Structure 1
Amino acid sequence: MAIAAPDFAQVIGGELQLRRGQVEKTIALLDEGNTIPFIARYRKEMTGELDENQLRAIQERLTALRNLHSRREEVFRLIDEQEKMTPELEAAIQQAKNLTELEDIYRPYRPKRKTRASVAREKGLEPLALWLTQDGRGDVLEQAAQYISEEKGVSSAEEALQGALDIFAEEVADDAENRKRVRELTLKQGAIVSKAAAPSVESVYEAYYEYEEPLGKVPPHRILAMNRGEREEILKISIKAPVDDILSLLQKRALPKKDDRPDAAVSQTEATPYLIEAIQDAYKRLIAPAVEREVRAILTEKAEEQAIVVFSGNLRQLLLQPPVRGKVVMGVDPAYRTGCKVAVVDETGKVLDIAVTYPTPPQNKVEEAKKILTALITKHAVNVIAIGNGTASRETEQFIADLIKELPQEIVYVIVSEAGASVYSASKLAGEEFPNLDVAERSAISIARRLQDPLAELVKIDPKSVGVGQYQHDVSQKRLEEQLAYVVESAVNSVGVDLNTASPSLLSYVSGLSSTVAKGIVTFREKNGKFKTRKQLSDVPRLGPKTFEQAAGFLRIPNGGYSLDNTPIHPESYKAAESLLQKLGFTVDAVNDPHQRESLKQALQNVDVNSTAEQLGVGVPTLRDIMEALRKPGRDPREELEPPVFRTDVLKIEDLAEGMILKGTVRNVVDFGAFVDIGLKNDGLVHISELSGRYVRHPMDVVSVGDIVDVRVKSVDVNKGRVGLSMKGIQQKA
């Protein structure tokens, strides 16, 4: 006998409301080693145009179901080896919907440490336990007295009875359906309770010192906050269960009935009061602690998933911020005692100059700093100054704003998030990139480059360190790392990568490329010069046909030897693209020819997609993508977004008044609202209730990291440096 594998495609299709065929083909593509970006972009005909999110959901569910089936087989084997397998048990194992249900089934058969029930069984008290549930009439202690045995260590009728009741209690606790029902009832009617470990001690958790909320209503961020408070030994957390309802349920299920009907009345015997006490013991001693742990785990898992969703969404938006191209940028890493490190980079990110100034306390060498920066700005024709938002940021901003007023040329500044810059600066990668610079100087370069191309710079940093999200350090780090890697991979491949300028860090996120192959590409480029065509990738060591297939479409070669190499058109579709161009009266060179671009766009508008796809031997989705790529060769989707807010003067919190309308940048989105940079030291909060005049399910439905928004000042607390903002009734730019 063996457990049959379920039809994964049918199960997943039902759960995700997708056609079985779509899921089946997706599973086959994944099993062949294709990446999700590749499948989403270049296998649309096979999957029915499933997007990355749907493909990812299929992949994750498939992994979970395969793990569940593997455990099913293991549980079946372990019980079968004990020669305790029955058709009913086999069916229950087959039908278990998750690991928790499966483990509940296996619980009675799992090897146990010595328990009160196992000791009672060793003393031969199992027949007495059976008598209590199957008969139970007459004098219970008189029946129990028959099991007194000096040899077996049973010295009294009361001891025999207690042993039998321990056996019954363990059977009640080990019943899989009992566990399931108690868990469901607790989740449905229970509450989470938080109390202070030391009520007199002040902490950030004071809101949870005397706190109770129904399990069905408690939001994810509160669960994570209470978990953290518990870990720091400031809070004591417990689950308040509907005990009376649970005991009533267990009694109906465990006490002997008058007949076999599920709703039959309990058969009252002299043993019934003893059995009721044993059920109470089973719940309090055996079921409740385990169910509380399970419920806490369920709540935490859901809260972590939500935190990861928020972090992932914020990270994606941060990575896809519009680049500021064609500008010479001065990056400033603010500091007090050690001085502000300054780096000037040209339009390509190449470092032109490095300096250190001391315009902030305690040194306050303002005039000296002005001379140094003015000289650098003039020498290198600096267009924009990027100031990191860390320690001494606002003092440095004031200094820069004052400097700008004294300069004859037009120049602006912008505050750039420096989250993770120090992590990068101290990394092995930064050391390899700038071996002769110190950590702070590398950080200034990173700040400047973040403005020029956020994606290319941020991929060098551990995603957990980029400073967006909520409670990211409190969630499963393995799960977080997996999800963030998916996000970075998706962002990189949605934009595409310049094969001739990309760093190994950026290339390593391209579909199909490992870090080893990414380094190999850069080494090959340094040795042989710039790539002229995608075909040359085949000459890179360890870059085989499968890797080429997965990666080629996401790598771009601007100004190369073949125009289609600077488009998202995959080499496998070059022939179809060439045929289409020929059919329209153009050559491949027309794609990058600005004089022919408009006429090519016009010709593409008149194409009958369905008939042309059939003539060219490609699917309709593939032809649509080819046509879009020909319309916009070298397109960067980030450039269609609104650029960052550039400033020339500083805003102080004392300048604010309720009702003022300001422009700001969304820096972080969390479950309870959004933090917006309006130019102050601290970001202002737009609470979820102030995001819109309509109901908002989650802030991410309204705003994203990097959005440029207009906000109204709702409240100002100068002493605490807090500003409440509102977006209600303000027409936002589309």
Structure 2
Amino acid sequence: MDHIIEAIASALNISVKQIKNTLGLLEEGNTVPFIARYRKEVTGGLDEEQIRVIQENYAYQVNLEKRKEDVLRLIEQQGKLTDEIKADVMKAEKLSQVEDIYRPYQQKRKTRATDAIAKGLKPLAEWILTLPRTADIEAEAKKYINDKVETMEDALQGAKDIIAEMASDDAQVRSRIRNSMEKYGHLVTKAKKKHTDEKKVYKMYYEYSERVSSLANHRIMAIDRGEKEKVLNVSIDFDEEYIINWTINKFTKKRTSPVNYLIDEAVKDGLKRLAFPSVEREIRNELSEKAHEASIEVFSMNLERLLLQPPMKNKMVLGFDPAFRTGCKLAVIDHTGKMIDVSVIYPHQPNAKVKESQRIMLDLLKKYPIDIIAIGNGTASRESEAFVAKLIKDYNLNVSYTIVSEAGASVYSASKLAREEFPDLHVEQRSAISIARRIQDPLSELIKIDPQSIGVGQYQHDLPQARLKERLDFVVSKAVNRVGVNVNMASAELLKNISGLNASCAKNIVAYREEHGEIHNRKELKKVPKIGAKAFEQAAGFLRIEDGDEMLDRTSIHPESYDLAKKILKELDIKEEEMGSASAADKVKEASVKKLCETLEADSYTVKDILDSIAAPLRDYRDQYAQPMLRSDVLELSDLHIGQQLEGVVRNVVDFGAFVDIGLHEDGLVHISKMSKQRVSHPSELVAVGDIVKVWVYNIDEEKQKVQLSFLQP
């Protein structure tokens, strides 16, 4: 398998040793987060994404090798394997190339060609392909007339059907078609004569053409959806005549024979009826797969940033779930996330009770020291924002508000988990609690929701759901383990995503806490049922105990490195209880990593990580990102003018740009062309979900109530 590893190393631009070591660690049952965090010295510091790509690439290459072996064996069984076929199979880099080579030797379902072969017409087809210089075609064809072949014309048609399929199955021919379509072809879309597209969603594709080689992923997905919804006809336009002539020359070897016209007709039929549609389907499928993978990548990236939004610690929050007819649900939660009050108000039509709504809100704000009002961004969000902003202004209240994405809140509120947590509350009241908790600790709250229900992607319902789930689950695991959890406070839902743990282990930890009280040290985790030596090794470093018996249990230092950590503390003359102090941080800053490595015979990755933990034992990975944007006033479209500078929050990143919340009813779009003066391959190069950005108003569409924004100062 060395050649596979070498190919992956070349593709990823890392060493063969790194890949071999990583695969070895995976083979031993280590998790990706554990390897990325605690085996840097073995992998050369590879991160989770690199390890995942190695894992997936290796699995694909192993699968490719297995298929090559199967194809060579199957062709050999037919006695048709040549050195040339073997060489072509071995140099193939994609499964599709291997399948093209195998196609002529595959067991076929019933086709016109297999029917003709069954009637004994294969020798006639072979005779035609010998290109005789002189020939009596009628006399030759009549030799094959029998009870299954009634006429000379039937015999010749059967022979042509066999040649047509040979032309269609020829690997070189298919490669030539594929090359022509991919490099020089155009994807052409036309509106169907009878279609339903009332909102003109696909208007730009009613008469559209673009080179296959330059199609953007989001356009491919829009076209696929338009075709699926029976609005568009889609085809690939390419130089068919060139391919037909090239294939005819391949089969006639440019020789003149009385049978040439039969080969011409057969080749044209084989290409137009079989090969062109088949290769076009393959290319369309590959384009869709590429677009799906890119879309899943964007979804994953957005989800990761959403999960890693920094928590607003030690804040009392009023969750505000907006609605019109059914009223706005309110929930007050304390700084630990515990629900302490719920209510409902009707500030909007059709049941507007504005004065009463103001009184209820003011009573809550007077009764509790609320720091922030968190307003969900769903139906009636902007009307609710206007109501809250007016209340703050009219009564000069010392409180801010923020708009919170409520994607998936309704899914959580109706879930078994929410019913168990709040059995006495209505679905909408649970939703208000979820909205409030999302700014207190986004990760702990969002983890309760199926990641596919958190709408931070594009065309997510068109994506292969199994692959999407697999990638999003990976992102959730990556985010949870990067942050780590407080083992005495974390929910089972959060714990099950920790490296080495599963749902059963997580429930057992919660049950153990309920029975024995708080866990006092990491070693005690070994007493929890189903947490064996391997599970403990994989999980321990990600499970924190803030007020336990062992000071190092607060940190991300793994128990296997405690001896080394204590030696480093001794070398730097720092007591364990001094970790995190200004003096400890100063001593860490002055420390020589190289000297410590030499003195203590340790690797630099582990030493650096231990030093970081000594300087800031309770450091939160999320602190590097911007806090949620707080507001106290509302913005209307009429307040805007072209060229105006604003501040906003990135809500979603897609292939063609980023949607930014500037306080309007609809998020404004910063198109990719308005992001930078330099060329930008993808918006994610510049922004991520949750970023607070400076924007300028580029265009205002009052009819559609939409605004276009720019990162470029006018």
Report if TM-score (shorter chain) is over 0.5.
Answer: yes
1:684-703 equivalence runs, <5 A = 684-703=668-687
Q: 2:496 is aligned with what amino acid?
A: S
Tell me whether 1:65 sits opposite 2:61 in the alignment: yes
Question: For residues 611 and 655 of structure 1, what CA distance do their matches in structure 2 show?
Answer: 61
Q: 1:159 is aligned with what amino acid?
A: D
CA contact (8 A) 1:669 1:700 kept: yes
Cα displacement (A) at 1:323 = 1.0
Q: Secondary structure at the match of 1:685?
A: strand
Aligned to 2:475: 487
Question: For residues 117 and 686 of structure 1, what CA distance do their matches in structure 2 show?
Answer: 56
CA deviation string 1:617-670 (max 9, x = no partner): 321111111111111111012223222211111111111111211111011111
Cα displacement (A) at 1:81 = 4.2
Aligned to 1:9: 5
Cα displacement (A) at 1:72 = 2.9
Aligned to 1:165: 160
Tell me whether 1:97 sits opposite 2:93 in the alignment: yes
CA gap 1:149/1:41 in 2 versus in 1, 3 angstroms: same
Question: For residues 701 and 164 of structure 2, what CA distance do their matches in structure 1 show?
Answer: 59
1:108-507 equivalence runs, <5 A = 108-151=104-147, 153-198=148-193, 202=198, 203-255=200-252, 257=253, 266-407=254-395, 409-507=397-495
Name which of structure 1's ranges 363-372 and 107-116 shifts more when overlaid on structure 2.
Answer: 107-116
Cα displacement (A) at 1:444 = 0.2
Aligned to 2:15: 19
Q: 1:240 is aligned with what amino acid?
A: D
Aligned to 1:263: none
Question: For residues 140 and 429 of structure 1, what CA distance do their matches in structure 2 show?
Answer: 82
Question: For residues 706 and 519 of structure 1, what CA distance do their matches in structure 2 show?
Answer: 32
Aligned to 2:651: 667
Tell me whether 1:658 sits opposite 2:642 in the alignment: yes
Name which of structure 1's ranges 9-18 and 79-88 shifts more when overlaid on structure 2.
Answer: 79-88
Question: For residues 603 and 552 of structure 2, what CA distance do their matches in structure 1 show?
Answer: 19
Question: For residues 249 and 503 of structure 2, what CA distance do their matches in structure 1 show?
Answer: 60
Unaligned segments of structure 1, at least 5 residues: 258-265
Q: Secondary structure at the match of 1:482?
A: helix
Question: For residues 607 and 22 of structure 2, what CA distance do their matches in structure 1 show?
Answer: 21
Aligned to 2:573: 585
CA deviation string 1:102-121 (max 9, x = no partner): 22222222221222222222
Tell me whether 1:725 sits opposite 2:709 in the alignment: yes
Q: Secondary structure at the match of 1:694?
A: coil
Unaligned segments of structure 2, at least 5 residues: none
Q: 2:426 is aligned with what amino acid?
A: D
Question: For residues 728 and 140 of structure 1, what CA distance do their matches in structure 2 show?
Answer: 77
| TM-score normalised per structure 2 | 0.97
Name which of structure 1's ranges 469-478 and 346-355 shifts more when overlaid on structure 2.
Answer: 469-478
Question: For residues 341 and 678 of structure 2, what CA distance do their matches in structure 1 show?
Answer: 51
CA contact (8 A) 2:186 2:238 kept: yes
Aligned to 1:649: 633
Aligned length: 712
CA contact (8 A) 2:137 2:259 kept: no
Cα displacement (A) at 1:577 = 0.3
CA gap 1:78/1:6 in 2 versus in 1, 3 angstroms: farther
| TM-score normalised per structure 1 | 0.94
CA deviation string 1:273-294 (max 9, x = no partner): 2212211111011101111110
Cα displacement (A) at 1:408 = 5.5
Cα displacement (A) at 1:721 = 0.8
Aligned to 1:262: none
Aligned to 2:513: 525
Cα displacement (A) at 1:674 = 1.0
Q: Secondary structure at the match of 1:387?
A: strand
Question: For residues 628 and 294 of structure 1, what CA distance do their matches in structure 2 show?
Answer: 51
Name which of structure 1's ranges 201-210 and 376-385 shifts more when overlaid on structure 2.
Answer: 201-210
Cα displacement (A) at 1:584 = 1.7
CA deviation string 1:12-32 (max 9, x = no partner): 112222211111111111111
Name which of structure 1's ranges 160-169 and 646-655 shifts more when overlaid on structure 2.
Answer: 160-169
CA gap 1:671/1:355 in 2 versus in 1, 3 angstroms: same
Q: 1:558 is aligned with what amino acid?
A: E
Cα displacement (A) at 1:242 = 2.0
Cα displacement (A) at 1:45 = 1.2
Tell me whether 1:46 sits opposite 2:31 in the alignment: no
Q: 1:204 is aligned with what amino acid?
A: V
Q: Secondary structure at the match of 1:7?
A: helix
Question: For residues 649 and 605 of structure 1, what CA distance do their matches in structure 2 show?
Answer: 44
Cα displacement (A) at 1:586 = 2.4
Give aligned-pair identity as a percent: 50
Q: Secondary structure at the match of 1:724?
A: strand
CA contact (8 A) 1:140 1:271 kept: no
Cα displacement (A) at 1:212 = 1.2
Aligned to 1:260: none
Aligned to 1:714: 698
Q: 2:625 is aligned with what amino acid?
A: L
Aligned to 1:681: 665
CA contact (8 A) 1:194 1:209 kept: yes
Q: Secondary structure at the match of 1:216?
A: helix
Name which of structure 1's ranges 549-558 and 581-590 shifts more when overlaid on structure 2.
Answer: 581-590
CA deviation string 1:226-262 (max 9, x = no partner): 111111111121222321222133234333x3xxxxx
Question: For residues 297 and 573 of structure 1, what CA distance do their matches in structure 2 show?
Answer: 49
CA contact (8 A) 1:329 1:386 kept: yes
Q: Secondary structure at the match of 1:478?
A: helix
Question: For residues 465 and 187 of structure 1, what CA distance do their matches in structure 2 show?
Answer: 35
Question: For residues 194 and 698 of structure 2, what CA distance do their matches in structure 1 show?
Answer: 33
Question: For residues 189 and 695 of structure 2, what CA distance do their matches in structure 1 show?
Answer: 36
Cα displacement (A) at 1:199 = 6.2
Cα displacement (A) at 1:6 = 6.2
Q: Secondary structure at the match of 1:353?
A: strand
Cα displacement (A) at 1:156 = 2.9
CA contact (8 A) 1:663 1:710 kept: yes
Name which of structure 1's ranges 338-347 and 121-130 shifts more when overlaid on structure 2.
Answer: 121-130
CA contact (8 A) 2:653 2:659 kept: yes
CA contact (8 A) 1:144 1:161 kept: no
Cα displacement (A) at 1:344 = 0.4
Q: Secondary structure at the match of 1:494?
A: helix
Question: For residues 306 and 220 of structure 2, what CA distance do their matches in structure 1 show?
Answer: 26
CA gap 1:175/1:145 in 2 versus in 1, 3 angstroms: closer
Q: 1:599 is aligned with what amino acid?
A: S
Q: 1:373 is aligned with what amino acid?
A: M
Cα displacement (A) at 1:220 = 0.7
Superposition RMSD in Å: 1.8
Cα displacement (A) at 1:8 = 2.6
Tell me whether 1:565 sits opposite 2:553 in the alignment: yes
Aligned to 2:597: 613
Question: For residues 305 and 242 of structure 1, what CA distance do their matches in structure 2 show?
Answer: 29
Question: For residues 138 and 127 of structure 2, what CA distance do their matches in structure 1 show?
Answer: 12
CA contact (8 A) 1:182 1:246 kept: yes
Cα displacement (A) at 1:77 = 4.1
Q: Secondary structure at the match of 1:391?
A: coil
CA gap 1:430/1:254 in 2 versus in 1, 3 angstroms: farther
Question: For residues 500 and 38 of structure 1, what CA distance do their matches in structure 2 show?
Answer: 21
Cα displacement (A) at 1:406 = 3.8
Name which of structure 1's ranges 717-726 and 175-184 shifts more when overlaid on structure 2.
Answer: 175-184
Aligned to 2:31: 35
CA contact (8 A) 1:147 1:154 kept: no
CA deviation string 1:479-501 (max 9, x = no partner): 11111111111111111111111
